[in-house]
């Protein structure tokens, strides 16, 4: 099946909210990592989301080029070509994009989708994130309203963030402070500004989330913040206003906190750090085990099969796919695909 269209993507998100599970959204940087996600999702019987960050997109275009839109388009076109070989649906998304990179990253991709639609082709991406969390909320939402208007014309879903995810992602660092917790007042303002058009959007509300590498239990989440925000919006605007929430910075989170977040409306959880490690760990294991094969030690010739990149990248793909399967299971998504064959 091709990449999910707008109707299927909306159905995916609504079904996740109704049934209290979430779709894992995996950051990828290459064809190999994208293939790993597809493999893991298919083996789990789960739909999912493949996403590209600004840094990941620049890397995908090549270290001599570093063209963010080009790299993102290259990965997206690959996924469009191969997704039909897997018995699941996958959506394509771009991750954190701050205001100063909108014109150089997201907007060229939106323009590419508009060109495709004019030619009778499906959307390149399904959704894009604008990360205005570093801005005052009014300025954040002023930009979001304009984006939502353009996105809705071409069946693109907008993701925004209210509150700040701590830690560092693609070189953007946020310090720990009270903004790590979105308030009911924040979400009421989001609903007031964005709900009137009827256009679809996702909200990354923060409840202590931190990007980066942490041991289990190190990140102190307060999932009840999500319940308080949802409750305030439902009381003010009714059940239809309940948000489709996104969970950023989930590495090191306790499983009970993850499940509480799902119960409070999280339908998408971003995963990057853990799959990066799974991918690299397999390569490191191969290199240590086959040290004299991958290096020409003491003037020897080495072992071509050991240093052939296909050997260790295939291992890395399989290892990352296994971590994808674990993520699906933890998010209650196993065997939930909408794909009927």
From first to last of its 341 residues, what are the pLDDT tens digits of the chain? Answer: 579 999 999 999 999 999 999 999 999 999 999 999 999 999 999 999 999 999 999 999 999 999 999 999 999 999 999 999 999 999 999 999 999 999 999 999 999 999 999 999 999 999 999 999 889 999 999 999 999 999 999 999 999 999 765 444 555 554 544 567 899 999 999 999 999 888 999 999 998 876 555 455 555 789 999 999 999 999 999 999 999 999 998 777 889 999 999 999 999 999 999 999 999 999 999 999 999 999 999 889 999 999 999 999 999 999 999 999 999 999 999 999 999 87
Whether 1 is covered by a domain: the verdict is no
pLDDT for res 211: 56
Alpha helices in the chain (DSSP H): 6-19, 31-44, 54-60, 68-82, 107-118, 137-152, 184-194, 224-237, 255-263, 273-289, 291-294, 304-307, 309-330
Domain around 302: 6-330
Rounded to whole angstroms, the Cα distance separating 138 from 190 reads 9
Whether 110 is covered by a domain: the verdict is yes
Question: What CATH number corresponds to the domain at position 116?
Answer: 3.20.20.70
Whether 282 is covered by a domain: the verdict is yes
pLDDT for res 215: 52
Comparing CA positions, the residue from 12, 110, 126, 100 lying closest to residue 69 is 110
Residue of 14, 47, 95, 303 marked active site: 95
pLDDT for res 39: 98
Whether 340 is covered by a domain: the verdict is no
User: How distant, in Å, are the alpha carbons of 160, 203, 209 from that of 168?
Assistant: 18, 20, 11
Contact assessment for residue 247 and residue 1, using Cβ atoms and an 8 Å cutoff: no
Handedness of CA 235, 163, 52, 97 (dihedral sign): positive
Contact assessment for residue 244 and residue 265, using Cβ atoms and an 8 Å cutoff: yes
pLDDT for res 164: 63
Whether 190 is covered by a domain: the verdict is yes
Whether 339 is covered by a domain: the verdict is no
pLDDT for res 233: 98
The number of domains in the chain is 1
Rounded to whole angstroms, the Cα distance separating 110 from 132 reads 18
pLDDT for res 171: 53
Active site residue 95: yes
Find the distance separating the first CA and the last CA of the chain, reported in whole Å: 8
Whether 208 is covered by a domain: the verdict is yes
pLDDT for res 279: 98
pLDDT for res 221: 86
25 forms beta bridges with 49, 270
Helix and strand tally (H, E) in the chain? 13, 10
Whether 341 is covered by a domain: the verdict is no
Instruction: Report pTM.
Output: 0.93
pLDDT for res 169: 52
């Amino acid at each position: 099946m091709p990449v999910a269209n707008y109707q299927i993507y909306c159905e995916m998100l609504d079904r996740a909210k109704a049934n209290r599970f979430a779709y894992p959204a995996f950051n990828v940087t290459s064809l190999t990592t994208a293939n790993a996600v597809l493999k893991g999702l298919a083996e789990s019987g789960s739909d999912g989301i493949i996403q590209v960050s600004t840094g990941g997109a620049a890397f995908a275009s090549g270290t001599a080029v570093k063209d963010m839109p080009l790299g993102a388009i290259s990965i997206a076109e690959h996924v469009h070509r191969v997704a039909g070989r897997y018995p699941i649906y996958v959506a394509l998304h771009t991750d954190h994009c701050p205001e100063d990179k909108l014109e150089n990253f997201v907007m060229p991709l939106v323009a590419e989708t508009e060109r495709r639609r004019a030619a009778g082709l499906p959307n390149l991406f399904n959704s894009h994130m604008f990360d205005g969390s570093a801005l005052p909320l009014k300025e954040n939402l002023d930009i979001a309203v304009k984006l939502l208007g353009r996105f809705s014309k071409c069946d693109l879903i907008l993701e925004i963030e209210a509150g700040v995810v701590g830690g560092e992602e693609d070189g953007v660092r946020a310090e720990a402070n009270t903004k790590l917790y979105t308030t009911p007042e924040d979400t009421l303002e989001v609903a007031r500004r964005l709900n009137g058009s009827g256009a679809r959007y996702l909200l990354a509300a923060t409840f202590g989330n931190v990007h980066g590498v942490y041991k289990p239990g190190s990140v102190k989440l307060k999932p009840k913040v999500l319940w308080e925000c949802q409750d305030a919006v439902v009381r003010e605007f009714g059940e239809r206003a309940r948000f489709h929430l996104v969970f950023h910075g989930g590495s090191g989170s306790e499983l009970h906190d993850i499940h509480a977040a799902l119960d409070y409306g999280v339908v998408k959880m971003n995963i990057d750090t853990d799959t990066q490690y799974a991918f690299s760990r397999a390569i490191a294991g191969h290199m240590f085990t086959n040290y004299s094969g991958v290096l020409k030690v003491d003037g020897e010739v080495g072992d071509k099969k050991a240093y052939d990149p296909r050997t260790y990248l295939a291992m890395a793909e399989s290892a990352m796919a296994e971590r994808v399967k674990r993520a699906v299971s933890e998010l209650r998504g196993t065997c939930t695909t909408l794909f009927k064959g």
